[in-house]
Amino acid sequence: MLVLALWILWFFLLFRIIFDIFRDDELGGWAKAGWLAFVILLPFLGVFVYLIARGKSMGYRELAQARGQQKEFDTYVRETAGAPRPSSTEELAKLSDMRARGDITDEEFRRAKALVLTDDAPEDQARGHLAG
């Protein structure tokens, strides 16, 4: 049982190194081919040399990939969930407050009000007018 467990661990390590070789953007094609040949043709020596030479950066690459995947997931969730768009009355109330404070002129108020009421403008453009 112990020998079987060690062989499973060995193959796990071997495949992890092979995946790391392909994942590394710093290595060129020939360098990847050389490391891959070394690891496959002389597996024990190749794995040990790879771990000594590039083992520390393996963890950094793994961490960078995990952070990238988390960032992509967070972006996807934010885009998918989206913030609810305020109603026309809320936008008009904000516009009125801004005009009363003097943040926007009467002309800007009229243009923004027309955008809110017609709802023809994209959300980002209409919000840009509201931000003043």
Domain stops at, among 47, 63, 81:
81
Range of the domain at 67: 2-81
DSSP for the chain, written as a single string: -HHHHHHHHHHHHHHHHHHHHHH-SSS-HHHHHHHHHHHHHSHHHHHHHHHHHHHHHHHHHHHHHHHHHHHHHHHHHHHHH-PPPPPHHHHHHHHHHHHHHTSS-HHHHHHHHHHHHH--S-HHHHHHHHH-
Same-domain pairing of 54 and 71: yes
Same-domain pairing of 63 and 18: yes
pTM for this predicted structure: 0.49
> Residues 39-87: pLDDT tens digits?
888 888 988 888 888 888 888 888 888 898 999 998 888 888 876 677 7
> Residues 118-129: pLDDT tens digits?
864 455 454 555
> Residues 91-122: pLDDT tens digits?
888 888 888 888 888 888 888 888 888 864 45
Domain stops at, among 58, 81, 104:
81
